[in-house]
Every structure is written in C-alpha cells, then in structure tokens.
Amino acid sequence: MSDSTPFLKVNSVTRRFGGVVAVDNVSFELQRGELFGLIGPNGAGKTTLFNIITGLTAPTAGQINFRGQDITRFPPHRIATLGIARTFQNIRLWSNLSALQNVMIARHTHTRVGVVSGVLGLPGAAAEERKTRERALEILELLGLVDRLDERSRNLSYGDQRRLEIARALALEPQLLLLDEPAAGMNPNEKQTLSDFIRQLREQFDLTILIIEHHVPLVMGLCNRVAVLDFGELIALGDPFQVQNDPAVIEAYLGDETALDKTKPRTRVRK
Amino acid sequence: MDFGHLLQQILNGLSIGSVYAIFALGYTLVFSILRIINLSHGAVFTLGAYFTYTLTGEPFGFNGVLARAALPFGLPFPLAMLTGGLVAGLVGVAIERFAFRPLRERGADPLLTLVSSLGVAVVLVNVIQYLVGAEIYSYPGNVLNTFGNVPAAINFGSDTNAIPVRTVQIVIFIFSLIILALLTYFINRTKIGKALRAIAEDPVTASLLGINVDRFVLLTFFLSGFLGGLAGTLVGLSVSIAGPYFGIAFGLKGLAVIVLGGLGSIPGAMLGGLIIGLAEAFVPAELVAYKEVIAFALLFLILLIRPRGLLGRAAAQKV
Amino acid sequence: MSMNEFLSTYGALIVGMVLAAILALSLYLPLMAGQLSLASPGFYALGGYIAAVLSTKVLLQNGQAISPFPVHLLLFEMLLAGIIAGLLAVLVGVLALRLRGIYLALATIAFVEILRVLSLNLDITGGAIGIFSIPQPFTNAIQYLLIAAPLLLLSAAFVYRLERVRAGRALLAIREDELAADTMGINPTFYKVAAFTLGAALASMVGALSAHFLNTWNARQGTFDASIAYLAFVLVGGSRTFLGPIAGGMLLTALPEFLRAVAGIGGLPGWLSQFLREGRLIIDGLLIVLVTIYFPQGLITPDLFKRRRKAAEKKES
C-alpha cells in the first residue's frame, strides 16, 4: 500500500430508504492514524454511514474502499476480519453474557482452533483458550472493568457498558475503530476523561479512529479533522476551527444547538 | 378441460378460499395490532365448529367424557353458528387475558408469545378430544332449509351438460364475501376501526391520544375468535368436523395464507386465502394426496423468496 | 420387586427417557444460536425411515430381513441416517436460516409438514401404514441402552464442551445479538447452519435407533405433536444449559407413565383417571404456557449452579 492510498475512502456514497435520502453523495478520505470526527444533527445520516462502512447496510450508490480494497458489498463479519471494529449508538452488548465473555468472543477472528479439537480439549486448543482469556483480561484491565469480569453485561452501569463495548471492539485488534456517540450520557468530566482515553488508545494501539459525536466541543478538542453532515449531505470538511466557523455549519447545526426555540422546525436551506 | 369443469373448480376454489380468508383474518387482526402470531387460532376455529354443533342440539359420540351428551334444546343453524362464533370470541378473549397479557406486559419477545399460543392450542384441542372424542361430526343435513326448500345443488349448465355446484358452497362463498365486506367497512370506516388501525401503527401514540389500548386488544381478540369460530363452522358445514385436530391442520394452512398475503395486511389475508383456495382446487386428480402440501410448499417458498408476502410491508430493522 | 422384574417392566420406559433426552438436545443445539427450529421431528422421522427401509428392504439375507439384526449394521444405519439428514439440513438450513424468529419457526413447521405428507404418500415409506416388522438387534428393551446411553453421554459431553469453546461462544453471541456478532467477525449463517445440521443429524440418528426399538415406523412419528413434545422438553427442562433438555426429556417422558400409575389407584373418579391416562398432551401444553410465562428459562437454569457455588464458597470462608 503506497502512502498515497487513503486508509479509508468513502466515495460518493448515497443511501435511499424509500423516498428518504439518508446519505446523499458523501465523499471523504481518512488518512492512517487520523482522529476524524463526524458530526451533524440527529437524523443527518451519520449512523447510516457507519452502517454502510461496516457492511450492515448496502449503499444505493457509491463505494467504500479500505486500504485499497473495495469493501462495499462485503458482509459485516468479513469487514471485521479486515480490521474495522465499531461500537453502537444504542449499546449492543451480548447482555446475558458476562463482561469477560463479551470480550473473549470478540477474539473470534484472531483465534483459529476448530470445533473438534476445542471440544476434545486437545493441548493446542486449550493453550489458545488460555491465551484468549488472558488477552481479554488485559483489555478489561485497561478499560477498568476487570473487577466486574464475571458480571452479566446487562447488570453493569451505563458507563461501564459503554466502556465494555469499546473493550470488545478493541479485542478485535482493529486498525480502524468506529465509535458511535461514545460520550452519550456522560457528564463533562467523564467526557474529558474519555477524550484523553481515546487519544491514548490511538497511540497505544496504532489506531485510526472515526467518531460520531453529538457533543461538538468534545470533537473539536479531540479530532484532527471534522466532517459535518446535514440531511445526509456533507456540508463541511476540514480542521475543527475551520468547520466551527463555517456559516453553513453554524446555520444547520451549531446555531440550532444554541437556539432555545426548539419548536421551530428545522428547514432545509438550499444554497 | 371444458368450461363446465373449469367453472366448478373455480367456484370450489373461491368457496374454500373465502373461508381460508375469513380464518386468516383472525390471525391478521391479532398480528397487525400486536405483532404476535397466535397459533391457538386454529384451536379456536375448532372450538367454534364444536360449539355450533352442540348448539344445534346434536348429541356427541361414544368416546370422551361427555359421551352421548346433548343440549336439551337445539337452535336453528344460523343462530347456532352466530352463537358459536360469539362463544369462540369469548374464548379468544380468555386466551389473551391468561396466556398473552402477562407476556406482553413484560415486553417479552414475540417468539415467546408464539410458543405460549402453541401450548394453548395443544391444550384446547386435546381437551376437546378428552371431552368428546375424535369422531367425525356432521351438522344436521338440510341446514339450509331454515329458509325454505333449497335444492342441494344448483346447476350452472344446461340439462344435457350439467355443471352442478353444491348450494352449500355457494352459500358459504356469498356469506364469506359479506363478512369480508363488513369487516373491511368496519376497519376502514368506523371510529372503532380507525382506533384499531391507529394502535396497529403505533400503540404508544395511540394510548397517548386517549385510546384505551387494553380494551381494544380485547376487542381484537374477540373479533379474531369470532371470525375463527365462524370459519370453523363454515368448514364443518362444507365438509364435516373431522375430529379435533382438523383445526390444527387448518391453523397451519392459515399461516401459509397470511405469510403469502403479507403478515399484518388485511387485504393480503383475503388475497392469500383466495389464491391458496384456488391453487388447491386446481390440483389434478392424481395428485390429490399432495393437496395438503401445496399450502406448506407455498409457505416455505414465500418465506425464502419474499418473506413479507404479496402485500405486506417490509420490516425495518433499527441499528 | 427384583432387579430383573424392574428392568423388564420399566426397561422400555428408561430407554424412551434416554432417547427423549437426546432428542431434546437435538433441539437445544439450534436454540443455542437463538433459532427456534421445530424441524427435529422431521429429521427424526427421516432417520427412522432410513433404518426401516434399509433393514426391511435392502440389507436382506436370502430375501429376508436379518434377525436378530446385527449391531454393527444398526450403527451403520445410524451413521448413514446422520449423514443424509445432515446433508438435507445443510440444504434447508442455507435456504431457511436467513429467516429470523417467527419466520424461521414457520419455515421449519412447513418443512416438517411437507416431509410428513410426502411420507404418507410415497410407496417406499409404506404410505399411511408405514413399515412394520423392523428386525430387532436385542431381545430385551433395556439392552437398547447399550447404544442409547453412550449416544446420550457423547452428545451431552459435546454440548457441555461446546459452550466453553470458541464455536459455542459464537453461537451464544448470535443468540444474544446476531447483528453485533456479525459485526464482531462471526459469520452467523455458517454457525446457524452448523448448529441446525448437528441437531438434525442427532435427531436422525435417534430416529434410526427408534425404528428398531419401536418395531414399526410410520408418518405419525414426524408430526406437529412431536414438535410440541420436544419443545416442551427444552422449555420446561431449561433452555439455557445443556442439562435442561436432558432433564426435561426424561421428566416429561416419565411423567405420563407416572400419571398412568396414579390413575390406576383405586377410588379415583372416572374422569380424573381418564385424564391422567390420556392427558399427556394437555399437560405438555399447560406446562408450555406456564413455563413461558413464569419460568422463561425453564426449570434448570445456569443461575441455579451459580447460587450453589456461591453458597459453597460462603461456607468455606
């Protein structure tokens, strides 16, 4: 892979649901090692875009390229094998399984042991089983969850569940990590801790991170570049300061956030 | 195939198809409002047929705990049928109250409700068998003679080229059409029908608008049971009551109808019923034994190719 | 009662209980992946027919069925039944397992019904009458345990181990949230089809054995009723641990016998004793409803073991 090949390339991606255009001809590129933010009002198409990248939804038009490979039509599990992991806006842990099990399962693609040798408990399988467990424990430790490893994940606190989702995604040993509103439900202190933590993650695991976030200041302080979606369209792309001062963005999103008059319907302003 | 034959088969197909449609509507009503498949519908269908039989004053057979018992009076058939339907409706309400509501209040997976309904079906059908045995019952002949002297068959052809169609089939078909029309009018034009549709769209909003969802759920189950009971009686009239299990087979076929037509779609249920009725009618004589398979083969096929059926809405999945 | 008397009276029941436990496990496998498959009876019937046809029409000596039937041939039949069922299951599974929840349950119901009607009408299956005079390898019913018991132990051990290794965890993940499992690198279709196929093969092997055990085989083996019965085994016994189906299968098979014995006690009103004798399905149905509402995980749950372990740990400290 040459240096000029973008790490992730979203190329003219469009997604229609019946009459609604959820994502409208969106294009951008990620460089390796970037911390990239995706912001926009609710319903702007951000999560849909995540779903397209991770293979949960197929785009109506356009392609997704990851490290030079066209992954547009790949099934989610194959995309995971290639090194893209994600968290979900509405937590999707395996709720009746323990925290440890949640993380161990995510080691699936990095373990090879077959069913037969596993069930028979052959030495190779047993060793790999041990390694899986150790690795999972390491990650839980890193996320501060190791003292709750046997708890059913549905019994964990909201904040812990969010962290467990990140732990699970990390267990996949991804190269690209997609975080969908990781700071939802956190107070300002927690958001700051999370922000530092995400930066630390990037360093420690050599990750490229794409974040959807609602809380604009978090994204502004954390990301190298930011893209703004509104009604499925990409209306701004650049470094945080640029974007923050882009009039179109202010009108569509930032202005809205500060406006107290929430009864006014958001209307689309055509340029 | 000559025209006479064709006409006969079409009429037969439409006749049985319209009964399938009535039966399937019971399923659809419940599914569209509550997103659950009520597999006890087939048992309620059976109960309706048996209730009507009892209400006509006929005695039971030799097996079962209630061997040879009979009511001391007998209602004329149309009245017995309606009453049987009403009682079936009440049974539907009882089933909802005891087997479904606890699950719904817990927000349980629809699959659990399906399983629960399966249990109810098994209980009901076997209780019938326990009480009255598994013999074949037929409604008293000349049921149609309540309204005067009606011939057993009507000739659609000429004297030389007779195309007889059993009057019963014609009556059933016409009656079913009336029921379907009434139901469509009810759902689309009356206030109650509108409320039901609102609940089907969005129960939370509906209740915020002042609609007493629980009461409408009961109404839905009553209607569904009533329709099922009616259908049971009609089938019993058309062929005979072939033992308590005839509802189970019908129930399974009803599933094929609603999946074909589209889960939750009322016009779909009607369309599905007619299609399967006609498909069965056109099975060539040599393959008559495989007639039963048609509905299930269609069910399987539809599930593979287009699970949402002909007129159903695609289910959206939220991530 | 002497041991011999006990074995001869209850031998058939014990074998029946063991076979029921294995059938319950065959339903448990797809259920581990969250798939409610009501298809086991279909494969059970298929296996039985394979054994019946082979032993009465194919594996003949001088034009007659071999009696006593050699055990190695019985094992061969079971293996063949497992393989054929497995292949059919892969085919059906790949087609039908894209469906979820209710749709899958309906598809499996349809599948079983299609098989049942086919078996009622094909010549080779003997039509409605079925196949009878299937040769026996053993003289006493209890001797079937020689094959049934190891099969149960093997399947139970397999499922027990499965839950503790990578493949089993993948199944659980699919059950809990298939979408998330997909996103985390687990191929749901592969695992669902695999679980379904294993369950089918197991049910088919039991069928092959049962054909000899019951001596006759017909379309009534693969009915919707049977689906209910197996479902009851797993739901009542416990759907979250491998011991559940085993317990459920054994209990619910023994229960009607027990009730029948109770019915024989003098002094019971006629309707009650008849109910106890014939009400097996009513009881199954009631149990299903009650368990779904009040014990959604069945009687034997993983929590039971956790609590006992915690209590033991408390005692030690």
Give contacts of C197 with chain A, Cβ < 8 Å.
none
**C48: closest CA of chain A, how far (Å):** 27
**Assigned token pair, B18:** 């319209």
**Chains contacting A with at least 3 CB pairs below 8 Å?**
B, C
**A118: closest CA of chain C, how far (Å):** 6
- Size of the B and C interface in Cβ pairs below 8 Å: 121
Give every CB contact of residue B234 below 8 A, 6+ residues apart in sequence.
Answer: B19, B22, B81, B172, B175, B176
Kindly report, residue by residue over C15-36, the tens digit of the pLDDT. 999 999 999 999 999 999 988 8
Closest CA to B164 of B12, B1, B286: B12
Give contacts of A114 with chain C, Cβ < 8 Å.
167
Report pLDDT for A262. 44
The pLDDT of A59-80, averaged and rounded, is 94
Helix (H) or strand (E) holding B155: strand B153-155
Q: E-assigned strands of chain A? A: 8-17, 20-30, 35-39, 61-66, 69-70, 84-86, 176-180, 208-212, 225-230, 233-238
Give the closest of A101, A105, A125 to C184, CB-based: A105
Residue A185's alpha-carbon distances to A37, B49, B85, C187, in angstroms, are: 18, 57, 53, 32
Give every CB contact of residue B180 below 8 A, 6+ residues apart in sequence.
Answer: B18, B21, B22, B25, B270
**B35: closest CA of chain C, how far (Å):** 10
Report pLDDT for A271. 37
Kindly report, residue by residue over A233-257, the tens digit of the pLDDT. 898 899 988 888 888 887 776 555 4
The answer to whether the CB atoms of B119 and C287 lie below 8 A apart is yes
C-alpha span between C199 and C245 (Å, rounded): 13
Report pLDDT for C117. 83
Give the closest of C121, C281, C288 to B126, CB-based: C281
Q: Are B300 and B36 in contact (CB under 8 A)?
A: no
Give contacts of A51 with chain B, Cβ < 8 Å.
319
The answer to whether the CB atoms of B103 and C293 lie below 8 A apart is yes
Report pLDDT for C110. 85
Give the closest of C167, C170, C176 to A95, CB-based: C176
Give contacts of C182 with chain A, Cβ < 8 Å.
56, 75-77, 80
Closest CA to A134 of A103, A155, A112: A103
**Chains contacting C with at least 3 CB pairs below 8 Å?**
A, B
Residue C151's alpha-carbon distances to B135, C72, C177, C249, in angstroms, are: 41, 15, 32, 15
C-alpha span between B178 and B4 (Å, rounded): 26
Give contacts of B272 with chain C, Cβ < 8 Å.
none
- Rg of chain C over all Cα atoms, to the nearest angstrom: 20
Chain C contact present for A142, CB below 8 A: no
Alpha helices for chain C (secondary structure H): 3-32, 40-53, 71-96, 101-121, 145-162, 166-176, 178-183, 188-214, 224-237, 243-263, 270-278, 280-294, 302-316
Kindly report, residue by residue over C38-96, the tens digit of the pLDDT. 888 899 999 999 999 988 888 777 777 777 888 888 999 999 999 999 999 999 888 88
Q: Are A222 and A211 in contact (CB under 8 A)?
A: yes
**A257: closest CA of chain C, how far (Å):** 32
Q: What is the dihedral of CA A114, A120, A126, A129, to 10 degrees?
A: 50
C-alpha span between B171 and B180 (Å, rounded): 14
The pLDDT of A40-49, averaged and rounded, is 85
Report pLDDT for A3. 58
Closest CA to A40 of A185, A165, A180: A180
Q: Degrees (nearest 5) of the Cα angle C32, C151, C193?
A: 35
Give the closest of B109, B126, B299 to C285, CB-based: B126
**Assigned token pair, A114:** 């077959």
**pTM for this entry:** 0.85
Give the closest of C176, C184, C186 to A96, CB-based: C176
Chain C contact present for B134, CB below 8 A: no
Report pLDDT for A265. 55
> If chain B, 319 residues long, is cut into consecutive pieces of 10 residues, what is the mean pLDDT of each piece?
76 86 88 85 91 82 74 80 92 92 82 86 87 80 62 69 74 82 85 80 78 85 92 84 80 86 83 89 76 81 82 60
Report pLDDT for B159. 66
Q: Degrees (nearest 5) of the Cα angle B166, B169, B175?
A: 140
Judged by phi (left if over 0) then psi (alpha if -120 to 50, else beta), residue C154 lies in alpha
Check pLDDT > 50 for residue A1. no
Number of H-type helices and E-type strands within chain B: 12, 2
**A15: closest CA of chain B, how far (Å):** 15
Kindly report, residue by residue over A87-96, the tens digit of the pLDDT. 998 899 999 8
CB atoms within 10 A of CB B134: 14
The answer to whether the CB atoms of C118 and B109 lie below 8 A apart is no
**Assigned token pair, C111:** 């599948």
Render each residue's pLDDT in chain C as its tens digit; 317 residues. 677 777 777 888 999 999 999 999 999 999 999 888 888 889 999 999 999 998 888 877 777 777 788 888 899 999 999 999 999 999 988 888 877 777 888 888 888 888 888 888 887 777 778 888 888 888 888 889 999 999 999 999 999 999 888 999 999 999 999 999 999 999 999 999 999 999 999 999 999 999 999 888 888 776 777 888 888 888 888 888 899 999 999 988 888 888 777 777 766 677 776 777 677 778 888 888 898 888 888 888 777 776 666 677 666 65
Give percent above pLDDT 70 in chain A: 92
**B104: closest CA of chain A, how far (Å):** 21
* C95 → chain B, closest CA residue: B304
Give contacts of B319 with chain A, Cβ < 8 Å.
47, 51, 56-57, 88-89
Report pLDDT for A258. 45
C-alpha span between C196 and C39 (Å, rounded): 9
Among A84, A108, A177, most C C-beta atoms within 10 A, so best to mutate, is A108
**B76: closest CA of chain C, how far (Å):** 32
**B70: closest CA of chain C, how far (Å):** 18
Chain B contact present for A16, CB below 8 A: no
Instruction: Provide the β-strand partners of residue C217.
Output: C131
CB atoms within 10 A of CB C314: 8
Report pLDDT for A18. 79
C-alpha span between A58 and A76 (Å, rounded): 11
Closest CA to A201 of A165, A172, A177: A177
C-alpha span between C5 and C142 (Å, rounded): 12
The answer to whether the CB atoms of C293 and B303 lie below 8 A apart is no
Chain C contact present for B131, CB below 8 A: no
The answer to whether the CB atoms of C285 and B119 lie below 8 A apart is yes
Chain A contact present for B319, CB below 8 A: yes
Give contacts of C167 with chain A, Cβ < 8 Å.
114-115, 118
Chain B contact present for A56, CB below 8 A: yes
Report pLDDT for B72. 77
